[in-house]
Amino acid sequence: MGPIPVYSSWISEDDVQALNRVAAEGWISSAGPEVVKFENDFAAYIGSSHAVSTMNGTTALHLALTALGIGRGDEVIVPDLTFIASAAAVAATGATPVFADVSRSDWNITPEEVLRLKTRRTKAVLVVHLYGNPADCEAISQAAPDLLLIEDAAEACGASRNCRKAGSFGLAGAFSFYANKVITTGEGGMIVTNDGELAEHLRFLRGHAMRPQRKYYHPELGFNYRMTALQAAIGRSQLKRIDNILARKRQIASWYAERLAELPGIELHPASSPEAQGVYWMYSILLPDFAARELVAYTLSEQEIETRPFFLPMSSQPPFSKILSRRLPVSYELSRRGLNLPSGPLLTENEIDRICDCIRAALPVRIPSAGFEIKEVEETA
């Protein structure tokens, strides 16, 4: 009956041995051969020709956008409901993020929204596969073939649509290996692409844009966005058992769905289908309203069960509040009602029972217990 965190990494003995092996070899920086091996392994898994490692998922996005020439004067369509890194990476290039509403069915942006928002300044669409739900990149590409398609697949490593892995549809796909992601290197990220010239440019910019043939000569400004060999060693080990990790997450999603399906007012995480296979990075539910969401979260926290609310819409964040003057209805609704339940691959069936029993006990109680006051911030009202 101990605490249940919202996510715990699955670090195996093989992962530890891989880390120890590389540390003993001494090649621990980005110069070690382990980094290239991880890049090659990851590209093969996603089905892309090239993979370029970075220090985290945010730098992967920023590096991809920069290498593709996106900058001041450009617009990039970004979902309103996402983690701030998606929009911040666009803003870091000098471009303007333009926020799109999301679909009620899979919580991702749609071709219709892209076409509604597209202007002569629009250069790219940044598609986010929210909470592991694979967006319909093919439909978006068909609707706007003149726009660059970039995928933020930080939450969707291993997800697929029509038998193609998330990250492989766009000109570039960015991944995160943070501690709570499907596979982890602690921190770390990756960009996949089928464009050889783009991959070469990504590697060039990643290492301070220094010419290999001329030490300390930098024809343009680059970054130090490199991954270490220690991270790569853990990543390679984790990647070897990603199918087992994903199988565990599918099992956990199944347990949640079985136990929560009959509860009134709850909408379950979008289910996978033969066409769209999600990874349930976070198993997420929608409660009837904001008050119910907060009450369930509070009840679970009282039992030492950690949860997370959905992301706040980007248009409600102070750095971006002047970009959009109106609220996008679906993004705001999902943000107010959404709750991420514990979703780590080490969860047991008994722990899922305990979580669901607490949710069941909380839902009939419409009045918060003494001392608990529900307040909703103005940005998500």
**242-373 CATH fold:** Aspartate Aminotransferase, domain 1 (3.90.1150)
Nearest Cα to Cα of residue 204 among 175, 224, 230: 224
Nearest Cα to Cα of residue 89 among 172, 194, 207: 172
Structural tokens at position 35: 């980094």
Helices (H), 261-348: 290-302, 329-337
Q: What is the pLDDT of residue 117?
A: 97
Q: Is 231 helix (H, G, I), strand (E, B) or coil?
A: helix
CB 334 within 8 A of CB 380: no
In the chain, where the domains are located: 13-240, 242-373
Q: Supply angle C-alpha 97, 269, 350, rounded to 5.
A: 130
Q: What is the pLDDT of residue 337?
A: 97
Q: What is the mean pLDDT of the chain?
A: 94
Give the single-character DSSP code of 267.
B
Amino acid at 71: G
pLDDT band at residue 376 under the 50/70/90 scheme: low
pLDDT band at residue 213 under the 50/70/90 scheme: confident
Amino acid at 69: G
When the candidates are 3.40.50.2030, 3.40.50.720, 3.40.640.10, 3.60.21.10, the CATH number that belongs to 13-240 is 3.40.640.10
Rounded Cα gap, residues 31 and 14, in angstroms: 23
Average pLDDT over residues 148-173: 98
pLDDT band at residue 365 under the 50/70/90 scheme: low
Q: With a cut of 90, say whether residue 264 has pLDDT above it.
A: no
* Pair type for strands 172-176 and 164-165: unpaired
Q: What is the pLDDT of residue 377?
A: 47
Structural tokens at position 30: 């980005």
Instruction: Evaluate if pTM is beyond 0.85.
Output: yes
Average pLDDT over residues 185-206: 98
Nearest Cα to Cα of residue 80 among 380, 377, 315: 315
Give the single-character DSSP code of 302.
H
Q: With a cut of 70, say whether residue 370 has pLDDT above it.
A: no
Q: With a cut of 60, say whether residue 375 has pLDDT above it.
A: no
Average pLDDT over residues 321-337: 91
Q: With a cut of 90, say whether residue 88 has pLDDT above it.
A: yes
pLDDT higher for 376 or 174? 174
Average pLDDT over residues 358-364: 90
Average pLDDT over residues 294-323: 95
Rounded Cα gap, residues 253 and 343, in angstroms: 8
Give the single-character DSSP code of 147.
S
Least confident of 74-83, 92-101, 315-324, 351-360: 315-324
